[in-house]
């Protein structure tokens, strides 16, 4: 049987890697739908190459997309804007939805795919940060399957007992933290490469450029996640993501710096055993794991030569060097809409840094100041979350505009 796959955010780094894997297994997967926000030429190219039946594009770009098709594949259906994206995410013809959109923009389509009961392979972590427990509850209601594509969370999935994996993600039931003990699980350990500034003197972080920050030593990813890796906000977001996916309290999620990016995460059991997943740092591995689940199929990645690995290092992260980690942990403990505020403020601050309006070290400062201004609400339904997201963006933008020395 062939699975019909929809890729949201098909022109990005996750999209590219997903297509690579699908093209290696054309007998098993077919592309049903693709989405992109703006890179019309690129989307047209991959729509033709993959034989997609439907595409979703940013509002007002349908004509431009048709022109870019240049007379090829004229029967393709084109939808646009937020409504088009939502429609694509829930179309009954496709069973599998890969979420590769960056940021909070992926929240509504992710929820739509979950509510439609699909097999949802989640790379887009920001929606899980904003309302992860609610998304998991929706999955339990609709019968959706959730499989993490984020390399750390996919590694954790692989190290969990099959029974726990099945009831928490594959056929989610009502999440409850007590099940961890039943399975002898003590904690989850997420590894972090430490990004490009791990060995930089803290005092010099003030002067780093967006180009330096985006140059990740191990992974080739989109700009926003690359900057998040440099501040280690990415690991903070992943901590909150792990709590939601595995119904685990923040205190049971540990973060360790592992510069070689070979061990992608670990699970610690009550007998003292640690199970780890190791692989080359290549996103096609978690993607193929999730697409093929429970089967193991080839990813095309380079094999690890264990005899050649040499030393693997692990150490505690320095929260003075990476203040975003502390902010994210505090927010994870607070709950409610605090993670929504953290996420939106971070998106605005990262954008301002990329556009040269603030310094690298100001990313955490503006996130911190925003968190201090906005009240945390306990209610976390979609409407409230979208309102808080919007309001936070305005507050952080105002803070940046009114700060001395910012443009």
Question: What angle do helix axes 362-373 and 338-354 make, rounded to 10 degrees?
Answer: 150
CA 396/CA 6 separation, integer angstroms = 34
Residue 14 within binding range of ligand NAD, rule CB under 6 A:
yes
CA 98/CA 291 separation, integer angstroms = 9
Site for ligand NAD in 101-120 (CB under 6 A): 101-102, 105
Site for ligand NAD in 297-326 (CB under 6 A): none
Residue 100 within binding range of ligand NAD, rule CB under 6 A:
yes
- Least Å distance, CB 12 to ligand NAD, is 2
- Selected binder of ligand NAD within 13, 112, 247, 362 (CB under 6 A): 13
- 101 is in the binding site of which of Mg ion, ligand NAD, none (Cβ under 5 to 8 A by kind)? ligand NAD
- Selected binder of Mg ion within 80, 138, 150, 268 (CB under 5 A): 150
CA 73/CA 66 separation, integer angstroms = 9
Site for ligand NAD in 337-396 (CB under 6 A): none
Peptide bond into 233 cis (omega under 30): no
Continuous segment of H or E residues that includes residue 77:
strand 77-80
Structure tokens at 346: 């971070």
User: What residue number has its CB nearest to Mg ion?
Assistant: 150
Measured CA angle at 348 (ends 342, 354), to 5 deg: 125
Q: How many CA atoms does the CB half-sphere of 308 hold within 13 Å?
A: 4
249-288 footprint of ligand NAD as x/- string (CB under 6 A): ----------------------------------x-----
Please, which contacts does 207-216 make with residues 24 or more away whose CB atoms are closer than 8 Å?
207/359, 207/360, 208/360, 210/353, 210/354, 210/356, 213/353, 213/360
Site for ligand NAD in 206-225 (CB under 6 A): 219, 221-223, 225
Site for ligand NAD in 70-99 (CB under 6 A): 85
Residues that bind Mg ion (CB under 5 A): 150-152
Residues that bind ligand NAD (CB under 6 A): 9-15, 36-38, 85, 100-102, 105, 123-126, 150, 219, 221-223, 225, 283
């Amino acid at each position: 049987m062939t699975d019909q796959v929809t890729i949201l955010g098909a022109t990005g780094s996750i999209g590219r890697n997903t297509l690579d894997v699908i093209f290696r297994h054309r007998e098993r997967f077919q592309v049903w739908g693709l989405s992109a926000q703006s890179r019309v030429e690129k989307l047209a190219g991959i729509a033709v190459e993959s034989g997609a039946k439907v595409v979703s594009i940013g509002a007002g770009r349908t004509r431009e997309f048709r022109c870019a098709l240049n007379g090829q594949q004229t029967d393709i259906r084109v939808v646009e804007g937020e409504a088009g994206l939502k429609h694509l995410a829930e179309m009954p013809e496709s069973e599998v939805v890969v979420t590769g959109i960056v940021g909070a923009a992926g929240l509504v389509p992710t929820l739509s795919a979950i509510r439609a009961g699909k097999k949802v392979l989640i790379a887009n972590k920001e929606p899980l940060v904003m309302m992860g427990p609610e998304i998991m509850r929706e999955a339990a209601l609709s019968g959706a399957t959730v499989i993490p594509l984020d390399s750390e969370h996919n590694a954790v999935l692989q190290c969990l007992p099959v029974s726990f994996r099945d009831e928490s993600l594959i056929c989610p039931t009502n999440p409850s933290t007590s099940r961890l003990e039943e399975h002898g699980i003590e904690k989850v350990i997420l590894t972090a490469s430490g990004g490009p500034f791990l060995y930089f003197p803290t005092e010099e972080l003030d002067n780093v450029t967006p180009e330096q920050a985006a140059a990740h030593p191990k992974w080739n990813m989109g700009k926003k996640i690359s900057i998040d890796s440099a501040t280690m906000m990415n690991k903070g977001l992943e901590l909150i993501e792990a709590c939601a996916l595995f119904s685990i309290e923040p205190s049971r999620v540990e973060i360790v710096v592992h510069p070689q990016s070979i061990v992608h995460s670990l699970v610690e059991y009550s007998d003292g055993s640690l199970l780890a997943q190791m692989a080359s740092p290549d996103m096609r591995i978690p993607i193929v794991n999730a697409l093929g689940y429970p089967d193991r199929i080839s990813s095309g990645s380079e094999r690890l030569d264990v005899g050649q690995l040499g030393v693997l290092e692990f150490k505690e992260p320095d929260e003075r060097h990476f203040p975003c980690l502390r902010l994210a942990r505090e927010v994870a403990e607070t709950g409610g809409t605090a993670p929504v505020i953290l996420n939106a403020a971070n998106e605005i601050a990262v954008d301002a840094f990329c556009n040269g309006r603030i310094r690298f070290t100001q990313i955490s400062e503006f996130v911190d100041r925003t968190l201090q201004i906005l009240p945390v609400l306990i209610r976390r339904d979609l409407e409230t979350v979208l309102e808080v997201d919007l309001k936070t963006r305005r507050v952080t933008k105002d803070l940046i505009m009114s700060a001395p020395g910012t443009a």
